[in-house]
Amino acid sequence: MSGHKNKYMELALKEAEKAALRGEVPVGAVIVAGDSGAVIAVASNRVMEDRDPSAHAELLAIRAACAALGSERLPGCDLYVTLEPCPMCAQLISFARLRRLYFAADDPKGGGVENGPRVLHASSCHHQPEIYGGIGARPAAQMLKKFFQARR
């Protein structure tokens, strides 16, 4: 990783670590104002904590960013997330009109961007952000592997 992408993905990885410490699947997300580089929202998975199967890091970060900006759309914003978004989150990314998506580790089983249904590539998708995968993939994948090995 290099430059600003490194800084934002590192912040997302720190959020993922916080999730792991709470017993959540370690996924972290950061939303950044694309032009200024200001961090608008950070979040990590809270599925178990909130007793909410939709409490994925991406969804929580998008909600917080929309609240902070007073808008239902985030067209000038970029999302950094430590794991390829699932189909639910991929659709939400489209609905939120995020400008760019940066993700770290691929998710061959549950992904919805480059794996699985490839939601953002479907002809029915209303908005496709620029997509950049593999940013900081190794540390994110290692964190996930370690988390799931400890649960077995």
Is 115 in a helix, a strand, or coil? coil
Whether residue 40 contacts residue 32, with contact meaning beta carbons closer than 8 Å, is answered with yes
Contacts of 20 (CB under 8 A, 6+ apart): 26, 143, 147
Q: Are 96 and 68 in contact (CB under 8 A)?
A: no
58 part of the active site: yes
> Is 86 known to sit in a ligand binding site?
yes
The first and second tokens of residue 40, run together, are 């608008």
Residue in 9, 76, 81 with CA at minimum distance from that of residue 36:
76
Closest alpha carbon to 135 in 60, 76, 58, 81 = 81
Catalytic one of 15, 24, 58, 114? 58
> 89 a known binding residue?
yes
The residue written with tokens 């090995």 in the block is: 149
Check: CB of residue 11 under 8 Å from CB of residue 31: no
Q: Which residues does the annotation mark as catalytic? A: 58
Could you list the residues known to form a binding site, using ranges.
56, 86, 89
Could you list the residues known to form a binding site for Zn(2+), using ranges.
56, 86, 89
